[in-house]
Structure 1
């Protein structure tokens, strides 16, 4: 009978191989998750910030974007806020900038590629809103451009990336960086980080001194 490798197995690098065995993949994920553990407090703070913005007097908005697999995760995040993560609560305004195909194709057809998200940020974002950007490399030009445009518009930029330093982390207000050379591992940790963010958001809006009612007919408490 084969046995799993020990938890301290060295994580292989893409520089030395192009394929991970199942055990290699798990070892890579375990190592990256240990690093994510050190950033849980940051994600808790992001959840509280998001709660302040979305439940505040101006009823702010979350915008989110990413490319490829990160696009799917950005849409996952906004769905959790418009729908719910765990507990019943009111819906909150959250827009995934990668999900509206007509806007995406119109912008891609008429403007430089870097404008794909930045133009939508300028259209939908307002001073005080929050933009979450996901990039496994941290080097996606359209994400970096969106971050810069958001900062110009007074929007807080929170980034989830791969290893730092990277260009997106350099222009974001704050970054959760996953220290792994493997794209799949970074994406898997980003999903965990998104769930931690959602949990922290729910904890803030459903606190003992609630911002919202938890009855069957939920409504914002003024």
Structure 2
């Protein structure tokens, strides 16, 4: 029977979350920026691949439905959830441009675009952020410790102190939940 090293996994998890704690002012500033976007009629557009796509979908749902407190729906879309768009675009064009195409069609200047990528190298997410920057959106990246194209191209970057995908994703969820708590406090 295989055994996992729980002590090592917990230590890596704690190190990743400690890097989130060190970003508390950045999280507060981002919450304020998202509130500003909503009050200006904007929305939050989320994107990611694989586990990060699931996290993007999760967070868009937390905003649209509710996190903990009852409040009005906050406009949020996970760009990776429409299978018809994903498959049609990937078939007719290219998977690398699947998010940039949606940003071109949906994003407005007052929007916040949230990119989740543990590696920071996902070509479709990079292209999506490039399109969001061109549109004048406020761009946010959640990624891992390594320098990457995404870590160098946004207004706000959260680089989790880890190289392990699972630990990075756990920290991304923590950051996103903290954002939702801040939005609940403001809008509930």
- Structure 2 counterparts to residues 66-145 of structure 1, below 5 A: 66-145=48-127
The residue that corresponds to 2:174 in the other structure is: 192
The residue that corresponds to 2:29 in the other structure is: 45
Question: Aligned partners of 2:82 and 2:122: how far apart in 1?
Answer: 19
- Distance apart, 1:164 and its partner CA: 4.0
The residue that corresponds to 1:31 in the other structure is: 15
1:62·1:130 contact (CA, 8 Å) conserved in 2? yes
Q: Give 1:166's match in structure 2, choosing from 132, 142, 148.
A: 148
SS of match in other structure, 2:56: helix
The residue that corresponds to 1:6 in the other structure is: none
2:120·2:149 contact (CA, 8 Å) conserved in 1? yes
TM-score (norm 1): 0.81
TM-score (norm 2): 0.95
Runs of 4+ in 1 over 3 A off after TM superposition: none
The residue that corresponds to 2:162 in the other structure is: 180
- Distance apart, 1:203 and its partner CA: 2.4
1:65·1:97 contact (CA, 8 Å) conserved in 2? yes
Question: Aligned partners of 1:142 and 1:148: how far apart in 2?
Answer: 10
How many equivalent pairs are there? 186
1:134·1:161 contact (CA, 8 Å) conserved in 2? yes
1:48·1:204 contact (CA, 8 Å) conserved in 2? no
Structure 2: tracts of 5 or more residues without a match: none
